[in-house]
Chains A and B, each alone.
Chain A
């Protein structure tokens, strides 16, 4: 047993660190570090730099730009990227639809989609959730009815993240209503510019526009945009959701946030001393750091486990722990940051276009409350924490 990185792993880490901190424009990384909104253009810029150096999709099959790295290398890549505040490649592209197309898609689909997906020439969004199908995803009701060479799609998706930027949407649609609900679902790729597709933004409590409703009204989709077999979409969806395993804890993100919290707490004064010198506050930060270190070790255990042959390619139910703890810790950092900012969490920036009003209070105050409000989503999306508990109860504890 040796829980430290070996010489090659350390060399790999240094190489990643060097790359992320020198090749990605500092302005973008600073913005991420400050917790500010990253524009569509900045995300595209960052992903294209990564892709140009073969670092956008290292976990994909080698044939399509992947590297056949070990799980430990993939972990280091992710951790260093997060700690360097590099905007990660768009997950809908690189972790979700890309691996599904690479695994189950036709040769024509692979040729058409994989390279532009890696390079973010195509921006994908995810059409899974519906108003009546959240945690109970298989209850989805959007229909796709075969009509000659096309499917005709009708229905509504919701919580569609960044649909306003999307060129394409990958959807779960119902192609058979007469069978068990999981068995009548197909995985369909739909051009967002197709007639009958409309997007309505949903404003979240932080004031941001991130999620949307996507409506399909008699949308005609070429049959060749079906991925894999008809009515096998649920299997592909499970593959997709099981694919995002170790990144879900976002340990590197929380490390970077704690660093920033400490830096800002050294600037804020409480009476005659810096906030960082308040024993109670320090202990609260230390308590989160301990949970984070434990989570990092848990994550490394999961990563090491993936080395083992019998685990390869199977979702590890232990990743539910990573989601549970990872979300709690990320949310805890948003509370700590608000506590550092103190009374200046109050002003709300309503993003009036063309406004030249200076921010009220310190420049780091503006994002504290919105991030707290926005990040409540983390324990809700990607299988809510209650669903994760159901998974552990069944798969690990045997209830």
Chain B
């Protein structure tokens, strides 16, 4: 057992942290959000320069051979600074899908562009009725010669408005919620038949509603049996999201403790009050519990036994959700009025945390799923 980072990981962490520190202050982030796409191409190019965009791909594929620990480090830094660039959508989500589903030829065609920051990807999976089910797919794909024609409506596609390429789940066979018959397809965002409506999200990022009518697509892997791949990739996304959440929580906690030491009322720092100190301690305990479970999720992200992996992800997401809600609400409360303004960072972290808790399955649904699986400890 060893919790230490390797030398390579330490170097990566240093370069990410340094870049975030120098380039991703609260005011700078406002500027990035004001760009036409809602994020900064310049920052994206810097991500590419320090090797973050090719991180999860092997060197043979044109990447840097990073694993779940590397991804978690980057995501935690993104969470701390509330990075609005499409790192999660392109590198984490679509990166995982491509690694598990794409052929060598497809990887060769896509990865160099991703790693260079020239190609942005988005994962078009959610539909109006699907909530968090991966097998609730109504979008259809019909065979058309060597390729496929895809028709349906995809919703809440993170960074779907600025993506060059979409990874779309669609049904090639089977009934509405059947596990069998689901495929994953590569669709160019500017292909005929693709209509996108972009909009801002509560947490300062962007998403899109996407309508596909006979849009041309290319299958990634087996066009009828993509679900296990979607599930594996989804678990990796969850682990990365948990790491991001730890960054968000860590920042909120640190800001709150700093604020308590400087904000004076009744002639002394509010942090001199034991009642408030104890609340900050409880936030810290929640943070460390979340950090532990994010580590656990990172460790279990590459677990080959799907059931064990899913148990771990359910558990981690519940912990993240509960800790995040506790820390977020307390951070805002302990800041007082400034905590509910757009002018101050902590409210923005609170908003991101609130979206993370509901994204990719909310706390209740993960808890219920873990309970159905019999929990973590065998009787």
Contact = CB atoms under 8 A, between A and B. Distances in A.
- Determine if chain A interacts with chain B: yes
Given A325-B289, A386-B278, A285 B299 contact: no
17 contacts: A2-B1, A6-B1, A262-B375, A286-B376, A292-B376, A292-B377, A293-B315, A294-B293, A295-B289, A297-B293, A297-B296, A298-B289, A301-B292, A318-B288, A392-B281, A393-B274, A399-B257
A200 interface: no
A304 interface: yes
Q: Which of A282, A392, A399 has the most CB of B within 10 A?
A: A399
A286 B379 CA distance: 12
A321 B280 CA distance: 13
B284 A290 contact: no
Contacts of A6: 1
Contact of B284 (A9, A258, A300, A392): A392
B281 A393 contact: yes
A385 B316 CA distance: 25
Nearest to B373: A286
Contacts of B315: 286, 289-290, 293
A282 B289 contact: no
Given A286-B371, A396-B284, A399-B272, 8 more contacts: A9-B1, A282-B372, A290-B293, A297-B292, A392-B285, A393-B274, A399-B257, A399-B271
Nearest to A265: B379
Nearest to A9: B1
B129 interface: no
Q: Which of A262, A279, A289 has the most CB of B within 10 A?
A: A289
Contacts of B60: none
Interface string B234-274: 00000000000000000000000100110000000001101
B107 interface: no
Interface of A: 1-6, 9, 72, 255, 258-259, 262-263, 266, 276, 279, 282-283, 285-287, 289-298, 300-301, 304-305, 318, 321, 324-325, 386, 389-390, 392-393, 396-399
Interface stretch (B4-12, B192-200, B214-222, B341-349): B4-12
Contacts of A324: 285
A37 to B, nearest CB: 25
Contacts of B5: 1
A3 B319 contact: no
Contact of A304 (B2, B6, B282, B377): B2
A1 B280 contact: no
Contacts of A325: 285, 289
Given A1-B2, A9-B1, A279-B371, A389 B281 contact: yes
A259 B379 contact: yes
A285 B285 contact: no
Q: Which of B69, B278, B288 has the most CB of A within 10 A?
A: B288
Contacts of B278: 386, 389-390, 393
Contacts of A290: 293, 315, 318-319, 367, 370, 376
